Copies of this chain bind each other. A is one copy, B any other.
């Protein structure tokens, strides 16, 4: 049976996603999946076109059942926002409304501040194709508009939910922008790296690659830079020692077949 009407006015620690008159159950399912991807779980449906609960929406959610199965159905956008203290409405066009328009990134920062102050926040998304009606936009404090290619700005419903959810999740995520996953090994210490350079350069002198003395310092710097840019691990240093050693052996064995001559 569908859960309907006003939910308990409990604290919401993330914004509620309110889909107004969604047409396709597939889009509700895809929106639920995108929500859970981003840690959002409170889904509200205003007059969905197809019957609710809906098995097709459930399938397309790819397992986001904690969102789908707890969704509540409301008779109007006004009812669906009754317990909220801050309402955003998503729109691609600004119509005749004089309201603040925020980017998703700015909106999630404001929403976090509202929630930290005890507020309950919801974000309205309109039906596929038509979007929200003006009376529904009037329920909102602020409009939310995604900056996109102005020549092709129409996002699918679930894609619009994802953009908002993605920004929501990033706003609190602490993943370093760039990291190296080391799989149990550790970065090489400078001494290990220098030992490798000594080994490599000794062999390169031996085999004649560094035979021209006045070019040697700059060639050595260039070669070291190749390996320095690679952010080597201890294990990789061992591998490189082995490569140099075995290539040297090959040279000794094969020296009669491929003599190194000075040109």
- Measured CB to CB, the residues of A under 8 A from B are 30, 33-34, 36-39, 62-64, 94, 96-103, 105-106, 145-149, 152-156, 158-159, 162-163, 166, 169-170, 173, 175-183, 185, 231, 233, 236
Residues of B within 8 A of A30 (CB): 156
Q: Can you give 24 contacting A-B residue pairs, CB < 8 Å?
A: A30-B156, A37-B153, A37-B155, A62-B154, A62-B156, A63-B152, A94-B183, A97-B181, A98-B180, A98-B183, A99-B180, A100-B179, A100-B180, A101-B178, A101-B179, A102-B178, A103-B177, A103-B178, A147-B169, A147-B173, A148-B166, A149-B169, A159-B162, A162-B162
A103 and B175 in contact, given A162-B159, A180-B98, A233-B98 (Cβ under 8 angstroms):
yes
Apart from A102-B178, A149-B169, what 14 extra A-B contacts exist at CB < 8 Å?
A36-B152, A37-B148, A37-B149, A64-B152, A94-B181, A94-B183, A98-B183, A99-B180, A101-B178, A101-B180, A103-B175, A145-B175, A147-B173, A162-B162
Q: How far is the CA of A252 from the CA of B13 in the complex (A)?
A: 49
In whole Å, how far is A231's beta carbon from the nearest beta carbon of chain B?
A: 8
Copies per complex of this chain: 2
Q: A146 to chain B: which residues have CB within 8 Å?
A: 166
Establish whether residues A149 and B39, one from each chain, have CB atoms under 8 Å apart when the complex forms. Answer: yes
Min distance, Cβ A178 to any Cβ of chain B, angstroms? 5
In the assembled complex, the Cα of A256 lies from the Cα of B152 at a distance in Å of 61
> A147 to B175, Cβ gap below 8 A?
yes
CA–CA, A2 to B105, complex, Å? Answer: 39
Return the chain B residue nearest A109 by Cβ.
Answer: B177
Bound-complex Cα distance A175 to B145 (A): 10
Q: How far is the CB of A62 from chain B (nearest CB, A)?
A: 7
Residues of chain B lying within 8 A (CB to CB) of residue A169 = 147-149
